[in-house]
Structure 1
Amino acid sequence: MFHKVQKVKALPNFILKVDFINGICKYYDVKPLLEIWQPFKALKYTNGLFNLVKVDVGGYGISWNDDLDLSCDELWENGYSESL
């Protein structure tokens, strides 16, 4: 089952606020990805890139550019309901 993304907002400290079309809001911490996946390091070292996050067409995920994206399922399953 897809939990489509309606809106995404970049917050300080590499946190994303993700609003899903079912009305649920979750927060997703991108920091662990910065250490695990080489392409995600660009979010840390490219000034302003993290803030360019957008919802992909159809709401099936989010992306920053052609190389950096996350699926709606990843955001749903590993997001949390309260802000840190």
Structure 2
Amino acid sequence: MIPRIKHIEPRSNFTLYVTFDDGKTVLYDVKDDIRTLPTYRILETEHGLFQNFQLDESRTCIYWNDEIDLPSNTIYEYGTPC
């Protein structure tokens, strides 16, 4: 089953605080993605873009634009539990 995002907050230093429907809460560090994925680098250079994400209708993916998205199962699996 794909985890669904219940709540998400952008935090300082390119981290996301995410709560899922099952109650799990994680802190996901997007800096690793920015360093390794060229399309993510704009999150660092375009002022305010990181805070302006959208959550898709199914609540299984967040995205910033047509090229940058982050599936909920990645956040769930690789986020640091809080």
Name the TM tier (shorter chain): over 0.9
Count matched residues. Answer: 82
Q: Which residue of 1 aligns with 2:46?
A: 46
User: Equivalent pairs: percent with the same residue?
Assistant: 29
- 1:21 partnered with 2:27: no
SS of the residue corresponding to residue 41 of structure 1 reads helix
User: 1:33 & 1:11 partners in 2: Cα distance?
Assistant: 16
Mapped partners of 2:22, 2:54: distance in 1: 18
Deviation, structure 1 residue 54 = 2.4
The 2-side partners of 1:45 and 1:32 are apart by 15
CA distance in 2, matches of 1:42, 1:54: 16
What is the alpha-carbon distance in structure 1 between the residues aligned to residue 59 and residue 8 of structure 2?
Answer: 10
Instruction: Give the match for residue 55 of structure 2.
Output: 55
RMSD (Å), alpha carbons:
1.0
Match of 1:64 in 2: 64
Give structure 2 stretches of 5+ with no counterpart. Answer: none
Q: How far off is 1:61 after superposition?
A: 1.1
Shift of 1:13: 0.4
Residue 73 of structure 2: aligned partner: 73
After superposition, give the CA deviation of every residue in 1:12-60 in whole Å (9 maximum; x if it has no partner).
Answer: 0000011111122111000011110001001000000000122211111
Q: Distance in 2 between matches of 1:27 and 1:55?
A: 17
TM-score by length of 1: 0.91
Following TM superposition, the consecutive aligned residue runs of length 4 or more in structure 1 with deviations greater than 4 angstroms are none
